[in-house]
Amino acid sequence: MALPVVCFFLEEVEKDMTSPISIGRSALRCTGFGPVVLRMRRAIRFGFKAEVTTLIAKKQYLRSILKAPPLAAGDGEIDCFMLLNEARFWEGLWALYSFRSHFGPCRIVVLDDGTLKDASRSILKTLFPGIQVPAVVGHDAAMLSQLQTLGLNRCHAWRHRFVFFRKLVDPCLLAEKKGMVLLDSDCLHFRVPEEVRKWAENPDWVRFIADLVRHSFCASHETLSEICGAALPEYFCAGYLCLPRGSLQLHRVEQYLAAPCFTEQLASGKFSHVAEQTLQAMEAAVLGAGVLPETYATCPNLQSSNTVAGHFCGGSVERTWFYTKGIPLLARRAGFCGQSADS
């Protein structure tokens, strides 16, 4: 057991080095030591037992998703968008598959951040026939061209320089259905999301899974409310977001981006990791938003039989439950548990 875990540890380090967020952020990461230091810090923070348990779970379960039967993803009642990178490719597969298998038919669009390998794109298309994974070069040019044509110069600059801005802009320009779900790669579904299905019949406002942290934005909620003219949802999170088509208006976002809390980020090139979430929250405040029931939760207790979906994010050890509890549960239910990552 020890040798495979060590080998997988090294593979994980290599994956981390391919992340566009990691590359060039510091001299340590440029030399290749950054990911190792990050893992050590995480092990110290969460405990070495949690880190080792997570690595073993990844080794045992992540790639067992390849045993799953294909699910059509070319059409359905709603659009489902995911921004995905190579470092979290396997997690993204589980997130998409658990949503598609429990929600039902939908049109899935994966937004490549520029790091997805050809082999990964091929797996996506095999597991989800009909899925759309736009080629990065042509797609980026098309998105930027549309923004320029619309006269959205600030949105154009942000889309060009901030990778997470794709998650805000691209669904607006690519949506075909009356409702869409924006899904992060650390979300899993365990039961049929009846509330989301009902929302999809008449998507007239924004729904989201509540964050554990209040007002997780790139500026004070008072400042942001003054900018958009509405009070922002307190526990807003953009990791699992149900949006009516056309609800997010890019011309309003263009106006928001003129505020100092955003212009300073663009000028310095130091973008807040919650900048996109902040803008989503501002638009949700204007349209109207509501938290999904507690059965949709951040890092839920999976011992509860009522859990519908979980968003395994944040800075606590509970985020590792995605690997140690979430995907093992789904794999056991599907009947392909215990498969090696190399099988």
pLDDT of residue 313: 94
Structure tokens at 331: 């794999």
Which token pair is 213?
């942290």
pLDDT given at position 213: 92
What is the separation of C-alpha 4 from the centre of its chain, rounded to a whole number of angstroms? 29
Q: What is the mean pLDDT of residues 18-39?
A: 49
Handedness of CA 120, 77, 140, 31 (dihedral sign): negative
- At residue 130, the pLDDT reads 98
- Domains annotated for the chain, with CATH where assigned, are 1-46 (no CATH), 71-291 (3.90.550.10)
- Region 253-260: what's the mean pLDDT? 98
Q: Single out the residue of 179, 175, 138 nearest to residue 250, CA to CA.
A: 175
Instruction: List pLDDT tens digits, range 191-233.
Output: 999 999 999 999 999 999 999 999 999 999 999 999 999 999 9
Average pLDDT estimate for 52-65: 94
Give the Cα separation of 40 and 196 in Å (integer). 39
How many Å apart are CA 99 and CA 109, to the nearest integer? Answer: 13
Angle at 258 between CA 257 and CA 259, to 5 degrees: 90
What pLDDT does residue 43 have?
56
Residue 273 — pLDDT band, cuts 50, 70, 90?
very high
Please name which of 160, 146, 66, 123 lies closest in space to residue 110, comparing C-alpha atoms.
123
Beta-carbon neighbour count of residue 247 at 10 Å? 21
Per-residue pLDDT, 301: 86
Please tell me the predicted confidence (pLDDT) of residue 336: 76
Judged against a pLDDT cut of 80, whether residue 322 lies above it is answered with yes
Region of 320 please: left (phi>0), alpha (psi -120 to 50) or beta: alpha
Whole-prediction pTM? 0.86
* pLDDT for residue 74 is more than 80: yes
Strands (E) across the chain are located at 79-84, 107-112, 179-183, 187-189, 206-208, 240-244, 289-291, 296-298, 309-311
Inform me whether the pLDDT recorded for 342 exceeds 90.
no
Which tens digit of pLDDT belongs to each residue from 95-110? 999 999 999 999 999 9
Q: How confident is the model at residue 187 (pLDDT cuts 50, 70, 90)?
A: very high
Statement: residue 29 has pLDDT above 80: no
CB 299 within 8 A of CB 314: yes
Instruction: Kindly report the average pLDDT of the chain as a whole number.
Output: 89
Is 50 exceeded by the pLDDT of residue 280? Answer: yes
Checking if the pLDDT of 35 tops 80, the result is no
